[in-house]
Amino acid sequence: MKHQYSIVIVLLVAFLTTTSLFAQCEDVTVASLTNPGPFEVATLTEADGIRNGPDYAGATIYYPTNATPPYSSIAIVPGFTAQPSSVEEWGPFYASHGIVSIIIGTNSPFDFPEARAAGLLDALETLRQENIRATSPLEGALDTDKFAVSGWSMGGGGAQRAAVLDPSIKSVVALCPWLPSPSLDHDIPVLIFSGQNDPTAPPAQHANIHYNETPSTTDKLLFEVENGNHSVANTPSGANGLIGQIALSWLRLNMEENDCYCPLLADELLDDPTEASTIQTNMECAPIILGVTDYSHDIQVYPNPTQNVVYVNVATDVFFEIYTTLGQKLLQGELHGATKQIDISGFSEGVYYLKINNEAIKIVKK
């Protein structure tokens, strides 16, 4: 279901809540989306006692050794005729950021998307079993309500189909997905990567159709990499590292329900990146601002974007506040008279929110 990521705070606990929100979001920055992340990573295979799932052939679990559980998890499957090694860089990347990852092989290299969907769901069952296996280092460490699926090419098509088959999945990351005539009636938030020059799964025949066929009520994001080929999203290093940053933020937002990542995605990572040839999304983010209850455009602010000064068209004298996208208040004051203006020349370039009369207006400093 499409979300409006807003926060309404009861005045009685305003001060404590504001402090908590700022503490929660202050570390949510593009700089924190490193490759690798801050945690050490270890692996588990069937030789270590993990379950041998009947709907896939072989698996490797990547997990953090020095993070704090419970962990969210993601299952990943490769594409047609491809081996797990084709997507294996995703495993340690996610695990180094505290997300357990299981990368599976397929019973046949020629398995089509439906079989790969079954393999992904079977991999999630392996994670559930690992959470209760007495000798596993992951015993009791997994949040089995926070699972995601991902895959490349036919595996990406399989990830979309897995979301249709299992509504408990919290998120999908489809890597240059291949699935003709898709039936994708699900409400699981889906991130789709594609390559502009993909000869195997041309976006016009696959990724774009996947985006359009996913219901409009489902949160979705399509990121097409300029001049990208079919393997442009096989690693988190793709598109100068933007692939990994967007995927990690998407999982934090939708699988782990951390609203701090919505403005990070919308206002920073997706703000006209040079690596993208096309971006489509129906994401709706509201800033994390104390006491804001409305995000309309009834108050006119111009010029917007601006370099120095914004003028505010409002009939009465008003009190204003300016916040960052993550809720930090930078400026406040009163606006009087016929010509009401605010000087933001000292701000860095970026997106800010002007709060007036419990309404928030997005302003851009260039």
Tell me the residue type at 327. Answer: G
Structure tokens at 24: 């929660």
| Higher-pLDDT residue of 179, 5 | 179
- Banded pLDDT at 290 (limits 50, 70, 90): low
Say which residue the tokens 């774009």 belong to: 208
- Banded pLDDT at 10 (limits 50, 70, 90): very low
Q: What is the mean pLDDT of the chain?
A: 90
pLDDT digits (tens, 9 = 90+) for 199-217: 999 999 999 999 999 999 9
pLDDT digits (tens, 9 = 90+) for 34-93: 999 999 999 999 999 999 999 999 999 999 999 999 999 999 999 999 999 999 999 999
* Four-residue CA torsion sign, 362, 363, 365, 366: positive
Structure tokens at 114: 């439906």
Give the pLDDT of residue 21.
Answer: 45
Residue 173 clears pLDDT 60, i.e. is over it: yes
Structure tokens at 97: 């950021």
Structure tokens at 165: 């088959």
Give the pLDDT of residue 25.
Answer: 79
Stretch among 241-245, 269-273, 314-318, 359-363 having the lowest mean pLDDT: 359-363
Residue 258 clears pLDDT 80, i.e. is over it: yes
Backbone φ, ψ for residue 57 (5° rounding): -125, 95
Structure tokens at 119: 């393999």
Stretch among 150-154, 194-198, 214-218, 267-271 having the lowest mean pLDDT: 267-271
Cα 262 to Cα 250: distance, rounded to the nearest angstrom: 8
Q: What radius of gyration, in Å, describes the C-alpha atoms of the chain? A: 22
Cα 115 to Cα 274: distance, rounded to the nearest angstrom: 36
Stretch among 32-46, 165-179, 257-271 having the lowest mean pLDDT: 257-271
- What percentage of the chain carries pLDDT values higher than 90? 77
Structure tokens at 194: 């594609």
Residue (of 305, 173, 198, 307) closest to 251 by Cα position: 173
Give the pLDDT of residue 297.
Answer: 59
Give the pLDDT of residue 359.
Answer: 86
- Banded pLDDT at 364 (limits 50, 70, 90): confident
Say which residue the tokens 């990567």 belong to: 193
* Four-residue CA torsion sign, 125, 131, 135, 141: positive
Residue-range domains of the chain with CATH:
1-28+287-366 (2.60.40), 33-281 (3.40.50.1820)
HEC readout, the chain: CCCCECCCCCHHHHHHHHHHHHHHHCCCCHHHCCCCCCCCEEEECHHHCCCCCCCCCCEEEEEECCCCCCEEEEEEECCCCCCHHHHCCHHHHHHHCCCEEEEECCCCCCCCHHHHHHHHHHHHHHHHHHCCCCCCCCCCCEEEEEEEEEEECHHHHHHHHHHHHCCCCCEEEEECCCCCCCCCCCCCCEEEEEECCCCCCCCCCCHHHHHHHCCCCCCEEEEEECCCCCCCCCCCCCCCCHHHHHHHHHHHHHCCCCCCHHHHHHHHHCCCCCCEEEEEECCCECCCCCCCCECCCCCEEECCCECCEEEEECCCCEEEEEEECCCCEEEEEEECCCCEEEECCCCCCEEEEEEECCEEEEEEEC
- Which residues are identified as catalytic? 153, 198, 230
Q: Which residues contact 134 (CB under 8 A, 6 or more apart)?
A: none
| Mean pLDDT for the stretch of residues 120-129 | 98
Cβ atoms of residues 196 and 230 within 8 Å: no
Residue (of 199, 194, 129, 108) closest to 157 by Cα position: 194
